[in-house]
Amino acid sequence: MTENETARPQYLCPGRARLTSTYRFRGQVGHLLDDPGQVYGRTIEKVLEWLSEKEPHLLPVPDWHLSSFRKEEQGQVLEVVSLPHRSIWSARLTHPDVGLGEQYKPVAGRSWTTDVSVVAEGGRVNFGIEVFASTLNPEAPQPAFIRPGVIRSLAESAGLSQVRPLDGKPWKVESPEDLDALEILLSDRDRDLAVVVVSQPDPRRWAGPGEAPESLLDCEALARKTLGYAHVAKLPFSLSFEWTKRVGKSWSVFDGAVRTYMPGLDFEHDPLSAHPLAFKDRILVFSGENAEGPEAFRGFLVKKLWVTMPRVPFPWQPLVFVPDARVIESEERARETLGGEACADCQKQYERQAEALKDKIRSAEEEANKWLQVADDYLKDLDYHRQQTHVLQGAVEALRAQLEEKTGQSLDAEIPIPDNYEVMPDWVDEHLAGRLVFLPRAARAVKDAVYQDPPLVYKGLLLLANEYRNMRLVVEEGGKEKFEARCEELGLRFGGSMTEVAVGEYEDEYFVPYPVGSGLKRKLEFHLRRGNSRDERQCLGIYFFWDEQARLVVVGSLPAHLRTRAT
């Protein structure tokens, strides 16, 4: 560049923000209150009390009679639009990410928005809330999926319902009439929450200690944790046969199994995989980060619902959130201003313009609904193909079992064990396809691997694809013992990679993009380790997690140890 040339200005292009809904709910309020006329005001009062606890400096007086206002302070914004003559009230709170204690560290550049709406219509008071996070950083970790405290507050003080009351307690199905109600609940088009049916084990086939329990899971704890996400129903063994007659064996749940019936259930057209079923044997041997068996499965199910339910689409009508409430309020003010005869022409012009804008909004909503339907169709197609994949996996596993029975030895015994890392990604694709996935990060990591015993790394991957996977799928009895015996034979230690509290400091290391290209992330929950030295030539670490839906092991990092507070 010459001295006379002017340097071109440099511009920052931040790109499109990534929005993630972490909680969504709509329902009705007030069945616990004696005076129906007080429900609208009491609901708003509870919301304002909750908001004042979150941001007391923005809302010093939580009074539901307050007119519309907007208050901003240091990047925190609270806006309320109140239209009492139309029984419409909405609030929007936006603030930077400040974290939540030790468990969730703040993420720079991330902001949170909470939208709340209360609308009285047709003798019912409707309540809705959505919480979403926004960030421009594509590498930012997934936000925390946390239920807003106002949900429990309304459920306990005023009564919250969606098709059925929501009180954080399990529903005990005790009669054929209750089965009728359960069937109606599952088929209700207004149901936006999951229904988790926990069945009682067959007392005649119970091999555990004592008598068969009412359920394998702690349903009281499950219902508390999933309030606002799901209805939890306990199905006794005495009614399981009747339930099977009503919905068919494929759609039923019995003998200690747990089934999650998702919203929009269609018995005729939905794939079974869209409404997951976990059998008793799998629940009893389920392995989690800090627990085993039913307790571990309950924790897994809770977290699954926390993440899955905010992605379920549903219409918000008749709820009105702040952006739409602003439009209604502006229209009313404009009509008041343009009410005189001198402004008759102005009013007509305004009304024509308003109609044009409404048409544009309707068109945009129709387009959005169309794409939502396309996305829903793709999800159903994905579920179908996932189910077919499971069928093919089962067929392959059956063939493997037959061949192993004929030859008298494991097919994995014939797999060659290389003595270098160069061929590891291709080796995984060739010999472990359908059982274990090597993420791109793992493939990059082995290029620079220095661990002195490459064959042990290959044997560790075989262990995960064979004994560990068999244990997770409950392919045979004693799966856990066989896995532990093989670990001991190879000198490997299995365990959780790091606690949720500590992992926040090293999020970039312990979370990996998955599914690849989706923008989502998964934690590398477990590891196989050997050695305690800080010398990477003598320390092995294979970090992975279990993909429950795909039924395979996902390896994200190896063979070096990932950092911890100790290192």
Please tell me the distance from the alpha carbon of residue 345 to that of residue 343, in angstroms, as a whole number: 6
Burial per residue of 4-29, b for 16 or more beta-carbon CB atoms within 10 angstroms, e otherwise: eeeeeeeeeeeeeeeebbbbbbbbbb
Helix axes 39-54, 149-157, angle to 10 degrees: 150
pLDDT at 363: 64
Residues 69, 72, 78, 80, Cα dihedral to 10°: 10
Mean pLDDT estimate for the chain: 85
User: Taking the domain 164-284, which CATH number applies?
Assistant: 3.40.30.10
The answer to whether the beta carbons of residues 306 and 230 sit under 8 Å apart is no
DSSP state of 104: B
pLDDT of 494: 94
Task: Quote the CA–CA distance of 257 and 241 in Å, as a whole number.
Answer: 13
SS3 260: strand
Contact 483, 474 (CB under 8 A): no
The stretch 107-128 carries a mean pLDDT of 93
Task: State the DSSP code for 465.
Answer: I
Instruction: Give the integer Cα–Cα distance in Å for 543 and 557.
Output: 5
pLDDT at position 139? 72
**Residues 158-212 pLDDT 10s:** 999 999 999 999 999 999 999 999 999 999 999 999 999 999 999 998 888 888 8
b/e sequence 116-136, b meaning 16+ C-beta within 10 Å: bbbbbeeeebbbbbbbbbbbe
Cα gap 567→559, rounded to integer Å:
16
* Nearest CA among 233, 223, 241, 240 for reference residue 173: 233
pLDDT of 404 over the 80 cut = no
Angstrom distance (rounded) from CA 520 to CA 143: 10
pLDDT digits (tens, 9 = 90+) for 345-364: 676 767 776 776 776 676 67
Checking if the pLDDT of 1 tops 50, the result is: no
pLDDT at residue 2 tops 50: no
457 vs 388, more confident: 457
Peptide bond into 515 cis (omega under 30): yes
pLDDT digits (tens, 9 = 90+) for 534-565: 788 899 999 999 998 888 999 999 999 887 64
Q: Residue 382: its pLDDT value, please?
A: 62
| Residue 330: per-residue pLDDT | 83
Judged by DSSP in three states, 386 sits in: helix
Residue 325 has pLDDT above 70, yes or no: yes
Average pLDDT over residues 1-8: 48
State the distance between the two ends of the chain, measured CA to CA, in whole angstroms.
48
Q: Please state, in angstroms and rounded to a whole number, the distance separating the CA atoms of residues 335 and 332.
A: 5
Cα–Cα distance between 145 and 210 in angstroms, integer? 38
Give residue 15's pLDDT: 57
Every domain of the chain and the residues it spans? 18-161, 164-284, 338-408, 409-557
Does 10 score more than 60 pLDDT? no
Look up residue 159 and give its DSSP letter.
Answer: -
**Quick count: other Cβ atoms within 10 Å of Cβ 249?**
8
pLDDT in tens, 17-52: 778 899 999 999 999 998 888 999 999 999 999 998
pLDDT cut 90: percent of the chain above it: 48
**Taking 80 as the threshold, does the pLDDT of residue 321 lie above it?**
yes
Q: What is the pLDDT of residues 47-91, one digit of tens each?
A: 999 998 887 777 766 667 778 888 988 889 999 999 999 999 999
Q: What is the model's pLDDT at position 501? A: 45
Percent over 70 (pLDDT), the chain? 82
Q: Which residue has the tokens 């209750």?
A: 178
Asked if the model's pLDDT at residue 392 lies above 70, the reply is no
Per-residue pLDDT, 367: 63
